[in-house]
Structures are given as structure tokens and as C-alpha cells.
Amino acid sequence: MTGESHFALDNRIGSKKKGYHLMKRMIFGRTGLSVSRIAFGGIPIMRLPTPDAVALVKESLRLGVNFIDTANGYADSEEKIGLAIDGIPRRELVLATKSMANDKKTILEHIDNSLRKLKTDYIDIYQLHNVSSDEKFNAVMAEDGAYEGIMLAVRQGKVRFAGFSSHTMDCARKMLQTGKFYSIQLPYNFIDRQAESEVIPLAKKMKMGIIAMKPLGGGLLDNARLCFKFLLQDDGIVPDPGIEKLGEMKEIAEIARKAGPLTKRDLEEMDKIRNDTAKNWCHRCDYCQPCPQNIGISIVLQVNSIIKRMNVEKMSSWVGGQIAMVDKCTGCRKCVSRCPYNLDIPKLLKENQLTWNEYLEKHKIS
């Protein structure tokens, strides 16, 4: 990325020239990085035409967001972000991305691809993506594993800090206990609160930067005020919403500007929403596994979130394969006996399969 262009000087992040408010900042764990109180999540821009995605990122930056989180696996998200930030002084941005690679060679290739697509010389936080099983943990932390690749990239000046994301608390805790990471990204909202008991306290004790993925429950919670007000009670956590429309980011930025303590009424509303969703909310803990029929239960139960956030056409072959496995369900209910949330999983599998198939038919996706 080149130096400060005339455009960058006249349109600095958070500039008040166009009537925007500067967003509050916080120090991101022991990295010492100063990041906006809200991050920009790069999943939904996969669905947007490139000009619209670039405009959305630029306008979000002008609202005061300086922390962008994406992944090399999010289709063309990195390319779109790279176009949007080209010409903005690099020191004004904090860029985080991630890779699903298990080995050193592949993750080094992914890092170089991310640098090229993001049009930058370095990435602030490079994360091992979705370390949510013992098998994944053993692979990425092995000799010549992906972690070693990130460390080489750090020595080469391509990456500043290593982080990871996880969907399961057991694996998140195991990764934290290695003492090798500067940031953790995990699901956290006022429904998904598994991380509160051990993982978040441990991460804070270790002075980790903490990113809350799925602040809106993967698009399943529509009360943005409650979702972000809840998360903003903790000044050590950065909510990372996936943004598809400028109005969404404007609303969230305004909530962040005005957020105060949760009121009794807020708590009552949260309890009502929690009770209303309790019968069908999959927390992706995967305690229901293994399924005797090898059904990817937590993937199937995320169908509504995938439809709302992802490029369904590009994911249809992979997700569709998981959906087709639902036909093999025998109703043995072993998954139900293991589920800590008492979900009627066989029923939910069929409902989500129907939702997916109806969506494909409506939008003529094969």
C-alpha cells in the first residue's frame, strides 16, 4: 500500500468533515493495537457486487471503524476489502484475517495470497481459523503445522500477531493454555454465553485480545440494540458483526456511541428472547456428535444463518451435501440425549432441510 494520497488525507477514518462521529477505541489485549469499539466482519460482502462492497467498507471506515476482520476462505472478501482500503494510510487500519490450513506450507501460501488481495505489506493479526476439535488442534500445533507457518511469517515481517478462532470452548481453552497467541475469536452474544465461565476470564488473565463473533447470533437475532449493548458492557471484547448494508453499520455505530448500563427492562427483554429461542437454538458445541449416520448436525442447524450471511450459490454444493445426509437420520435420538440444551435435533434437522430446499427452489439455485 502506498503512502498518504490526497484522497486519504481528505477522507481520514472517522473524519468529521462529512458529519460522522469518531468511534471509541480500545487497546486490543497485549498487542497494544488501538482498535475501534466495533469491528467490521467481512463475511456478508461476499454477496455484494464489488462496487457496492467497496463503498460499504469505505463508508464504515468513515464512521470510525478501523478494525477489519475477514478470512481467505470468505470468497472474494479480501479482494473487496483491499480495493476499499487502497490509499488509506496503513497505520490507521488494523487488519485481521485467517486460514483453515493445517500445515506450514499451505498457510504460508495463504498469508501471501492475503497480502496480495488486501494490498498491504503486513497483516496485524493472522488467525488459525476454526480450531474446534482435537484433530484440528493437533494438526495446526504439530511440527510443520500451521502455527509454525504463522511464526515464520511474523519473523519475516508479514504478520504482527498470531491469533485463532474456535467454536468449541474445550478447544478454545486448550489453545489458550499453549500461551502462544495474542487474540481469540469465539461465538459470544446474550444467547451464546458458554465462554463466560472459563474461556473469557482465562483470555483476560492472559491479556488476550478478544473478538466476539456472531454478536447477532449469525443473523438470527434482530434486536441490534440489545445485542450490542450487552457486548459493550465489557470493555475488553470487540464485537465483530458481519455487515452487508451501510444502514446496519450506522445503526450499530450509533448504539455504540450511546450504549450505557443494561436496564432492568433490557434484562427482561433478553430473558424473553432467550426463552423464545431456547427450543431451536444450536450453540455449535457439538456435544451431540458423533452421529451414527455421520450427519453434520451443527452445520445443518445453521441453515438460517448461512442463508442470511453467506453466498448460498457458492456454498450450495458443500452445504447441500450435508443437507442430503439428513435423509439418513433414523431418529435414534442419541444426539438428543447428549445435547446440553435439550434440543429436539431430529425434528430440527428436517425443518432446516426443508428451509434449505425451499430457498434453493425459490432462488432457482441448483
Domain range for residue 318? Answer: 297-362
For residues 174 and 252, state if they share a domain: yes
Asked whether residue 329 is assigned to any structural domain, the reply reads yes
Secondary structure (DSSP) of 57-90: HHHHHHTT--EEE--TTSTTHHHHHHHHHTTS-G
Task: Give the per-residue pLDDT at 285.
Answer: 84
- Residue among 74, 126, 147, 188 flagged as catalytic: 74
For residues 222 and 329, state if they share a domain: no
For residues 57 and 179, state if they share a domain: yes
pLDDT per position in the chain (366 positions), as tens? 322 222 232 334 444 444 344 789 999 999 999 999 999 999 999 999 999 999 999 999 999 999 999 999 999 999 999 999 999 999 999 999 999 999 999 999 999 999 999 999 999 999 999 999 999 999 999 999 999 999 999 999 999 999 999 999 999 999 999 999 999 999 999 999 999 999 999 999 999 999 999 999 988 898 999 999 999 999 999 999 999 999 999 999 999 999 899 999 999 999 999 999 988 989 888 889 999 999 999 999 989 888 887 878 877 777 889 999 999 999 999 999 999 889 999 999 999 999 999 999 998 887
Q: What is the pTM of this model?
A: 0.86
For residues 255 and 331, state if they share a domain: no
For residues 103 and 228, state if they share a domain: yes
- DSSP state letter for 233: T
Count of beta carbons in the 10 Å neighbourhood of residue 251: 14
Q: Does residue 359 have an active-site annotation?
A: no
| Domain end among 248, 268, 288 | 268
Q: Residues 231, 239: contact at Cβ < 8 Å?
A: yes
Q: Is the peptide bond between 201 and the residue preceding it cis, with omega within 30 degrees of 0?
A: no
Task: Give the per-residue pLDDT at 36.
Answer: 97
- DSSP state letter for 280: T
Domains in the chain, number: 2
- Give me the residue label for grid cell 500451521: 146
For residues 260 and 174, state if they share a domain: yes
For residues 348 and 230, state if they share a domain: no
